[in-house]
Structure 1
Amino acid sequence: SKVTGINIVTVSNYIDSYIKAGLVVQRGLDTSTGGRRPLLVELNAQHGYLVGIGMNVAEAVCLITDMANKVIFKLKKDRPLETGEKVVSYLLNTTDEAIKKSNIDVSKIKGIGIGVPGIVDKERHTVHWPRGLFSGDISISVSVIDIFEKKFNIPTLVDNDANTAVFGEKWLTLEPSIKNLIYMYSGLGCGVMIDGKIYRGANGCAGEFLFSTNIDYIAWIKQSHDSNIWEIDLGLTLEAKKIVKDNPNSLIAKLVDGDPSKVNFFAVIKAAKEKDPLVTGLIEKAAQELGRKVAFLVNLLNPEIVVIGGGVEAAGTYFLETVKRTVKEAAIEEATRKLKIIPARLGEEAVALGAASLVAQDIFISS
């Protein structure tokens, strides 16, 4: 009651309904400080299982968790160079494979959550890629939920990847008192939580940073596969390839045997840790660019916490400190007074865990 701010009688009624639903179990009585001894309860992690899927343009992570969000099984699969409705088939097959390999009885799975890039129509359950962003069309014009529920007969939800990531970080890693935060999904977009709720905007596109370009989508996916990470790394991989090409004696060039095609995000990070001046300069520039975006959002939304995620948090302490310094320089003092900027803690599982957590929330709300 103290944590939630909800009347103790209302909390007691909620607990009673959760006990009846099997979501929580009684664990005896606590010591009394006067009056009736309080009942001890805890989450029933074995009540059932949840499936969380996080997809980007290069791969998908599919997790099966218990009700306490403990990961029971994990499957990561590269995404084929396909777009549109073929993506749904890929997600269906990945989910089906994960369930079968986990040996979990499908009847015990209580819900499926899916986090995908793009703008999710919460009424039609379709996914729209911003018009004109790429020459290819990855929009999904059929209901993702209808297809999944027909296949598995399990309640399903779909949301934007940054939205599920911000929810996952809030639900699983932060104090309950934190109500206003931003999850920076690298430099492409962000998930926004205001007063404890995901902010999606008028039609689901809140948090998008991208602008229309002439980039060819299929080529973009292929480059992401070749570089072993989705190109949401603030352009670090692409710029590092140019360094290798133009500076064959640089440290990063030696790390990849002088072959620009071998450059990936992890090679960039290794070169930075070994103090390659060209790469550290590149990382500082990328951090400053991200910091300016964060500063704008900090002034606009005045969050308590900004989580740096989407993969770029792996760039390390120097990257994060540069982001912090840039935000402090660019944002107004009042907006940064209580602000904390932290690296994401859930890593590549953030979107999938967030999607599973949204399912868990829905189960508790409906019980």
Structure 2
Amino acid sequence: MKTKSTGDLALIKKMNTAIVLEAVIQHAPLSRAQISEKTGLNKATVSNLVQDLIDNHLVQEIGPGESSGGRKPTLLLFHEKTGYAVGIDLGVNYIKGILADLSGNVIAERSLKLKPSQTENALEHLATTIETLMGSAPASEYGIVGIGVGVPGIVDEEGTILFAPNMKWRQIELRRLLEERFGLPVTIDNEANAGAQGEQKYGAGKNIPNQIYVSVGIGIGTGIILNGELFKGSSGFSGELGHLSIQYDGKPCSCGNNGCWELYASENALLEQASSLGFDGLEELLQAAESGDEQVRTLFQGIGSYLGAGIANIVNVFNPSAVIIGNRMSRAAEWIAPSLHESVDRRTLPYHREKLDLLFAELKDEAAVRGAAYYAISRFIAKIKSV
């Protein structure tokens, strides 16, 4: 009985520590008394647990707050600089990486454009990017706590990329490779899922329980958040809505299907159309549109119309509160928004459209890399809470 009682007490302390730490993360700056009020734990318990968190460099005192009549209370903050995480957005034609503190603030960043000839060496470029970011981390108690990577493909629970059609990859054991190389916890997920997490945590998706994030890059992927949680389906592979068939017997897709949505509404679709005008990159097209090039603006309008067609299907199925357009194409919001809205308005069932917000990613093309870092941060904090 004594052993069981001791075990019960240890479990209760662990649970209460997690509750106190979460209160500090969510509501800081706040005092010990305010933690007690918010959590329902008595003040003596809170005081002891806070001291443990301070001793473990997870919470810090920042000085006195406002007095409500007696002695000024000491305010507490989550010690966000006690560790750092690496987040990576591995795209078909780019690698974007950040070093973030434990609150998700960007400390350092690095980006690299990938030419088609470099795709075979993308894994080595990825490892070099991670090494560079790790090397830029300030000294801290916990150091680098983990690595998160968003990839443009289907990922299983073991962190293996099963299929990335636009990179022509199959069965790449990315988590295993990175964990063996760096000796750190690694989380691998689909890039659109990472983008959805990034926008929900740090961007336009805050406080929106039902939202669909549409990542528009070389291809199209979607991250589905329902009731505040990322929906991944029974096998973990949901969100491949870029491969919705929107044109029967349409263009052949690298996935093996025909007429997929991403063939008509992605950055790749835009670049194919723009090549006849002498443009070969999104940057050039954005500059041309900014300068008033009507032909380029017309191309963006066409992309907006096709985006709207696919989004209308998504809205009719999921009835979300918001659809958030992210990744690189979000930078063209000014020129795709009018035709996008017109297409969605025309094709969506009126009851579904009534309370729908069409948004562009607040983090623009950094949603996925921020979400990837969040994967590593949340995994570390979950581990800390369970210790």
Same fold (TM over 0.5): yes
Conserved 8 A contact 1:313-1:320? no
The corresponding residue for 1:351 is 368
The reply to whether residue 340 of structure 1 matches residue 357 of structure 2 is yes
The corresponding residue for 2:267 is 233
Give TM-score, length-normalised by structure 2.
Answer: 0.73
The reply to whether residue 165 of structure 1 matches residue 200 of structure 2 is no
The corresponding residue for 2:155 is 120
The corresponding residue for 2:224 is 192
The corresponding residue for 1:294 is 311
Letter in 1 for 2:378: Q
Q: Which moved more, 1:291-300 or 1:26-35?
A: 26-35
Conserved 8 A contact 1:79-1:90? no
Distance change (3 Å), C-alpha of 1:82 and 1:200: farther
Letter in 2 for 1:64: L
- Equivalent residue of 2:317, what SS? helix
The corresponding residue for 1:72 is 107
Distance 2:304 2:298 in 1: 10
For structure 2, list consecutive stretches of 5 or more residues without a partner in the other structure: 1-22, 28-36, 246-250, 256-264
The corresponding residue for 2:30 is none
Distance 1:215 1:331 in 2: 26
Distance 1:321 1:68 in 2: 36
Conserved 8 A contact 2:326-2:365? no
Distance 2:327 2:282 in 1: 12
Distance change (3 Å), C-alpha of 1:232 and 1:322: closer
The corresponding residue for 1:140 is 171
Conserved 8 A contact 1:83-1:137? no
Q: Which moved more, 1:310-319 or 1:270-279?
A: 270-279
Higher relative contact order, structure no. (Cα contacts within 8 Å, ≥ 6 residues apart): 1
Conserved 8 A contact 1:18-1:364? no
Aligned mate of 1:208, from 240, 252, 258:
240
Letter in 2 for 1:240: A
Q: Deviating runs (4+, > 6 A) in structure 1?
A: 10-15, 32-39
* 1:198-231 Cα deviation digits (max 9, x unpaired): 11112232111344975679xxxxxxxxxxxxx9
Distance change (3 Å), C-alpha of 1:44 and 1:282: same
After the TM superposition, which residues 1-367 of structure 1 pair with which residues of structure 2 at under 5 Å, given as runs? 8-9=39-40, 16=50, 21-27=56-62, 30-31=65-66, 40-79=75-114, 81=117, 87-100=122-135, 102=136, 104-105=138-139, 108-122=143-157, 124-129=158-163, 133=165, 137-142=168-173, 144-174=174-204, 176-186=206-216, 188-211=220-243, 232-233=266-267, 235-242=269-276, 244=277, 260=278, 262-366=279-383, 367=385
* 1:1-41 Cα deviation digits (max 9, x unpaired): 8x99x973379989857656533334456557699987743
Distance 2:266 2:223 in 1: 15
Distance change (3 Å), C-alpha of 1:88 and 1:278: closer
* 1:211-260 Cα deviation digits (max 9, x unpaired): 4975679xxxxxxxxxxxxx941511211222x2xxxxxxxxxxxxxxx2
* 1:167-209 Cα deviation digits (max 9, x unpaired): 0011112474221111111161211111111111122321113
Distance 2:280 2:127 in 1: 32
Conserved 8 A contact 2:323-2:359? yes
Distance 1:269 1:141 in 2: 34
Distance 1:326 1:20 in 2: 57
Distance 1:306 1:35 in 2: 49
Distance 2:118 2:254 in 1: 13
Letter in 2 for 1:303: P
Give TM-score, length-normalised by structure 1.
Answer: 0.77
For structure 1, list consecutive stretches of 5 or more residues without a partner in the other structure: 218-230, 245-259
Distance 2:112 2:186 in 1: 21
Displacement of 1:264 after TM fit?
1.9
RMSD between superposed Cα atoms in Å: 3.3
Letter in 2 for 1:93: T
Distance 2:204 2:253 in 1: 37
Distance 2:193 2:109 in 1: 21
Aligned length: 328
* 1:316-352 Cα deviation digits (max 9, x unpaired): 3231132122212211222222221121122332221
Distance 2:160 2:295 in 1: 43
- Report percent identity of matched pairs: 26
